[in-house]
Amino acid sequence: MANFTVNWGIVGPGGIAHRFADAITVVDGASLQAVASRDQHRADAFAQKWNPPTAYGSYEQIVDDERVDAVYIATPHRFHHENTRMCLEAGKHVLCEKPITVNARDAESLFGLARDRGLFLMEGMWTVFLPVYRQVREWLDDGAIGDVHLMTSTFGFVVPRNLTGRMLNPALAGGAILDMGVYNTAISRWVVGRRPDSVVARAILGETGVDELTSVSLQFGAETVSQFTTTMLCQTINDFTIYGSDGHIRIHPNFWEAGVATLSQGDHIADVQRPVRHNGFEYQIEEAMRCIDRGLTESPVMPPVATMDTMETMDQIRTRIGLSYSFE
């Protein structure tokens, strides 16, 4: 990637944007050009920490900035669709936080737009780019655990009862499945490389109407099931285990940011350490830049079909548990 540079803009200076800005500092050729918030004070505060040349008080301004090549969308997912659309229409490449949108229909329209404009668009499913996941992929491809029959995983935390915050507020597309379960859904899909044929789910809907616990079972073909629970009601162990006919792979907690996996083949058990280089976000940034450099509109590692499979699965999960949002 020598000499190739990408000037990044960030839309939405929340917690995850800090992590992104931090990762940019270790990626060759990446620079932070601008940050934008609807609130100039928040943009300024973010800029004070990460020193982009410009801090904008509106999203319109950042997409008009010709020095910005690509935008990282870090707003609550309720707004991903409109924010990403605005960036693409202004000719910017986009890396959008997951879930890319609230539903599959919106995601499809964004990928169509990116293709039409010849722009790169990827959902920020950073987990699949982590070194430990490359090791897991190797094990799976080598048949180290035989035929995959079962996956089990959890993603749960005790979420503070802030009813208007993004986790619990239906106006912000709150709920466990979209915010956390997107990882279990996406990694299940990533393991088998295809969309589930059947989706079963149940949920505990809380006082605001969003899912505070969702238990899901996905079936892929005739031979493989993924079973997981995501919840805001309890701290779960948060590992991801892949069981095959000849052994199993356990991705250690927290699986979405893991640096360790265990391969068990009968009595032969091997722990593999694959720590991230910095904070883990650097790999997805490098992937985006590699694709942009090559003029690709999609990543071969995290292509639109992977995102669409996950979004359609989450649509089905929400249908099963009776969760829709008034703005949809």
Residue type at 231 in one-letter notation: T
The whole-angstrom separation of Cα 206 and Cα 175 is: 9
Q: How many residues of this chain bind a second copy (CB under 8 A)?
A: 32
Is there a contact between 272 and 135 (Cβ–Cβ < 8 Å)? Answer: yes
Cβ-based nearer residue to a second copy, 155 or 283: 155
According to DSSP, residue 67 is labeled: T
Work out whether the CA dihedral 18, 23, 24, 25 comes out positive or negative: positive
- Applying CB under 8 A, among 154, 297, 299, 316 the residue interacting with a second copy is 154
According to DSSP, residue 179 is labeled: I
Is residue 251 a contact point for a second copy (CB under 8 A)? no
Tokens of 65: 């900035």
Is residue 124 a contact point for a second copy (CB under 8 A)? no
- Applying CB under 8 A, among 173, 225, 263, 291 the residue interacting with a second copy is 225
The whole-angstrom separation of Cα 223 and Cα 172 is: 37
The whole-angstrom separation of Cα 163 and Cα 263 is: 41
Closest contact distance (angstroms) between CB of 272 and a second copy is 18
Look up 92 and say whether it is catalytic: no
- Applying CB under 8 A, among 158, 171, 269, 270 the residue interacting with a second copy is 158
Is residue 222 a contact point for a second copy (CB under 8 A)? yes
- Applying CB under 8 A, among 109, 217, 279, 324 the residue interacting with a second copy is 217
Cβ-based nearer residue to a second copy, 31 or 241: 241
Question: Which stretches within 231-303 are classed as H helix?
Answer: 282-293
| Residue 72, phi then psi, degrees to nearest 5 | -100, 120
- Applying CB under 8 A, among 16, 204, 272, 308 the residue interacting with a second copy is 204
Cβ-based nearer residue to a second copy, 171 or 234: 234
Closest contact distance (angstroms) between CB of 42 and a second copy is 32
Is residue 2 a contact point for a second copy (CB under 8 A)? no
User: Residues 185, 100, 96, CA angle at the centre, nearest 5°?
Assistant: 125
Is residue 215 a contact point for a second copy (CB under 8 A)? yes
Closest contact distance (angstroms) between CB of 266 and a second copy is 8
Cβ-based nearer residue to a second copy, 93 or 250: 250
Q: List the one residue out of 168, 181, 169, 186 whose CA is nearest residue 123.
A: 186
Closest contact distance (angstroms) between CB of 225 and a second copy is 5
- The terminus-to-terminus CA distance of the chain in angstroms comes to 41
Residue type at 59 in one-letter notation: Y
| Residue 318, phi then psi, degrees to nearest 5 | -65, -35
- Applying CB under 8 A, among 237, 269, 270, 273 the residue interacting with a second copy is 237
Mind telling me the catalytic residues? 98
Chain residues that interact with a second copy, rule: CB under 8 A: 149-150, 152, 154, 156, 158, 198, 200, 202, 204, 213, 215, 217, 219, 222-223, 225, 227, 229, 231, 233-237, 241, 243-245, 247-248, 250
